Amino acid sequence: MAEQKERTFIAIKPDGVQRGIVGEVLKRFEMKGYKLVAMKMVHASEDLLMQHYIDLKDRPFFPTLIKYMTSGPVVAMVWEGKGAVKTGRVMLGETNPADSKPGTIRGDFCIDVSKNIIHGSDSVESANKEISLWFKQDELCSYSSCASSWLY
Protein backbone atom coordinates (compact mmCIF):
# COMPACT_ATOMS: atom_id res chain seq x y z
CA MET A 1 0.00 0.00 0.00
CA ALA A 2 2.87 2.43 0.79
CA GLU A 3 4.23 2.08 -2.75
CA GLN A 4 0.92 3.51 -4.04
CA LYS A 5 1.72 6.69 -2.07
CA GLU A 6 5.07 7.39 -3.76
CA ARG A 7 5.20 11.01 -4.86
CA THR A 8 7.17 12.76 -7.57
CA PHE A 9 7.74 16.39 -8.42
CA ILE A 10 7.03 17.41 -12.01
CA ALA A 11 7.50 20.95 -13.31
CA ILE A 12 6.49 22.26 -16.70
CA LYS A 13 9.18 24.75 -17.58
CA PRO A 14 8.56 28.21 -19.09
CA ASP A 15 8.80 26.96 -22.69
CA GLY A 16 6.18 24.29 -22.03
CA VAL A 17 3.84 26.85 -20.46
CA GLN A 18 4.37 29.32 -23.32
CA ARG A 19 3.75 26.62 -25.93
CA GLY A 20 0.46 25.56 -24.31
CA ILE A 21 1.52 22.01 -23.44
CA VAL A 22 0.31 22.08 -19.80
CA GLY A 23 -2.96 20.31 -20.59
CA GLU A 24 -1.19 17.58 -22.57
CA VAL A 25 1.17 16.86 -19.67
CA LEU A 26 -1.72 16.74 -17.19
CA LYS A 27 -3.64 14.44 -19.52
CA ARG A 28 -0.75 11.99 -19.86
CA PHE A 29 -0.22 11.68 -16.10
CA GLU A 30 -3.96 11.38 -15.44
CA MET A 31 -4.44 8.81 -18.21
CA LYS A 32 -1.55 6.78 -16.80
CA GLY A 33 -3.43 6.63 -13.51
CA TYR A 34 -1.43 8.97 -11.28
CA LYS A 35 -3.18 11.17 -8.76
CA LEU A 36 -2.53 14.91 -8.78
CA VAL A 37 -2.01 16.05 -5.18
CA ALA A 38 -0.67 19.58 -5.75
CA MET A 39 -0.34 22.07 -8.58
CA LYS A 40 0.44 25.76 -8.91
CA MET A 41 1.73 28.22 -11.47
CA VAL A 42 4.59 30.37 -10.20
CA HIS A 43 7.33 32.70 -11.33
CA ALA A 44 10.18 30.83 -9.68
CA SER A 45 12.67 33.03 -7.87
CA GLU A 46 16.41 32.77 -8.49
CA ASP A 47 16.73 31.74 -4.85
CA LEU A 48 14.34 28.80 -5.27
CA LEU A 49 15.99 27.72 -8.51
CA MET A 50 19.49 27.92 -7.02
CA GLN A 51 18.32 25.51 -4.30
CA HIS A 52 16.48 23.28 -6.75
CA TYR A 53 19.45 22.98 -9.12
CA ILE A 54 22.20 23.07 -6.45
CA ASP A 55 23.77 19.88 -7.86
CA LEU A 56 24.37 21.67 -11.19
CA LYS A 57 25.87 24.88 -9.75
CA ASP A 58 29.39 24.14 -11.02
CA ARG A 59 28.30 23.27 -14.55
CA PRO A 60 29.05 25.83 -17.29
CA PHE A 61 25.39 26.01 -18.35
CA PHE A 62 24.12 26.83 -14.83
CA PRO A 63 23.67 30.62 -15.33
CA THR A 64 21.82 30.01 -18.60
CA LEU A 65 19.59 27.43 -16.90
CA ILE A 66 18.64 29.88 -14.15
CA LYS A 67 17.94 32.62 -16.70
CA TYR A 68 15.75 30.23 -18.74
CA MET A 69 13.83 29.05 -15.68
CA THR A 70 13.12 32.65 -14.56
CA SER A 71 12.01 33.73 -18.05
CA GLY A 72 8.35 32.88 -17.44
CA PRO A 73 5.91 30.96 -15.28
CA VAL A 74 6.46 27.35 -14.26
CA VAL A 75 3.69 24.87 -13.45
CA ALA A 76 4.81 22.89 -10.40
CA MET A 77 3.02 19.64 -9.60
CA VAL A 78 3.10 16.66 -7.28
CA TRP A 79 1.84 13.35 -8.61
CA GLU A 80 1.23 10.24 -6.51
CA GLY A 81 1.07 6.53 -7.25
CA LYS A 82 2.98 3.31 -7.57
CA GLY A 83 6.41 3.90 -9.13
CA ALA A 84 5.64 7.59 -9.72
CA VAL A 85 9.29 8.66 -9.81
CA LYS A 86 10.64 6.01 -12.18
CA THR A 87 7.58 5.88 -14.43
CA GLY A 88 7.36 9.68 -14.46
CA ARG A 89 10.94 9.87 -15.75
CA VAL A 90 10.16 7.32 -18.47
CA MET A 91 7.10 9.36 -19.49
CA LEU A 92 9.25 12.52 -19.75
CA GLY A 93 11.91 10.95 -21.96
CA GLU A 94 15.63 11.65 -21.96
CA THR A 95 16.99 15.03 -20.87
CA ASN A 96 18.20 15.55 -24.43
CA PRO A 97 15.09 15.38 -26.65
CA ALA A 98 17.21 13.99 -29.51
CA ASP A 99 17.64 10.84 -27.40
CA SER A 100 13.95 10.61 -26.42
CA LYS A 101 11.64 8.07 -27.96
CA PRO A 102 8.40 9.05 -29.70
CA GLY A 103 5.54 8.73 -27.23
CA THR A 104 7.47 10.45 -24.45
CA ILE A 105 6.76 14.09 -23.63
CA ARG A 106 10.19 15.26 -24.77
CA GLY A 107 10.18 12.88 -27.73
CA ASP A 108 6.88 14.32 -28.93
CA PHE A 109 7.29 18.02 -28.09
CA CYS A 110 11.00 18.98 -27.89
CA ILE A 111 13.86 19.55 -30.27
CA ASP A 112 16.67 21.15 -28.25
CA VAL A 113 18.09 20.21 -24.84
CA SER A 114 18.11 23.86 -23.75
CA LYS A 115 14.30 23.97 -24.15
CA ASN A 116 13.25 20.55 -22.90
CA ILE A 117 9.80 21.53 -21.53
CA ILE A 118 9.69 19.57 -18.30
CA HIS A 119 11.49 18.49 -15.14
CA GLY A 120 10.88 15.32 -13.17
CA SER A 121 12.47 14.05 -9.96
CA ASP A 122 15.15 11.42 -10.54
CA SER A 123 14.79 9.58 -7.22
CA VAL A 124 12.42 9.34 -4.27
CA GLU A 125 14.92 11.32 -2.19
CA SER A 126 15.10 14.08 -4.82
CA ALA A 127 11.32 14.09 -5.09
CA ASN A 128 10.92 14.61 -1.35
CA LYS A 129 13.47 17.45 -1.40
CA GLU A 130 11.94 19.12 -4.44
CA ILE A 131 8.38 18.80 -3.16
CA SER A 132 9.38 20.47 0.12
CA LEU A 133 11.16 23.28 -1.80
CA TRP A 134 8.20 24.09 -4.02
CA PHE A 135 5.23 23.32 -1.75
CA LYS A 136 4.25 23.91 1.86
CA GLN A 137 2.86 20.85 3.61
CA ASP A 138 -0.67 22.33 3.68
CA GLU A 139 -0.61 22.73 -0.12
CA LEU A 140 -0.49 18.94 -0.61
CA CYS A 141 -3.95 17.41 -0.85
CA SER A 142 -4.60 14.02 0.65
CA TYR A 143 -7.68 12.27 -0.69
CA SER A 144 -8.94 8.91 -1.86
CA SER A 145 -9.36 8.60 -5.59
CA CYS A 146 -12.44 6.69 -6.75
CA ALA A 147 -10.24 5.25 -9.54
CA SER A 148 -7.84 3.62 -7.09
CA SER A 149 -9.63 0.27 -7.01
CA TRP A 150 -9.53 0.19 -10.82
CA LEU A 151 -5.77 0.78 -10.86
CA TYR A 152 -4.47 -1.32 -7.95
95 is in an annotated binding site: yes
8 is in an annotated binding site: no
19 is in an annotated binding site: no
Asked if 96 and 116 touch (Cβ cutoff 8 Å), the reply is: yes
9 is in an annotated binding site: no
3-state secondary structure 4-45: HHCEEEEEECHHHHHCCCHHHHHHHHHHHCCEEEEEEEECCC
The reply to whether 43 belongs to the active site is: no
Query: Mapping DSSP to helix (H, G, I), strand (E, B) and coil, where does residue 36 land?
Result: strand
89 is in an annotated binding site: yes
User: Active site residue: 7, 35, 52, 119, which one?
Assistant: 119
Q: Please report, in range form, the residues annotated as the binding site.
A: 13, 61, 89, 95, 106, 116
Active-site positions read 119
Q: Please report, in range form, the residues annotated as the binding site for ATP.
A: 13, 61, 89, 95, 106, 116
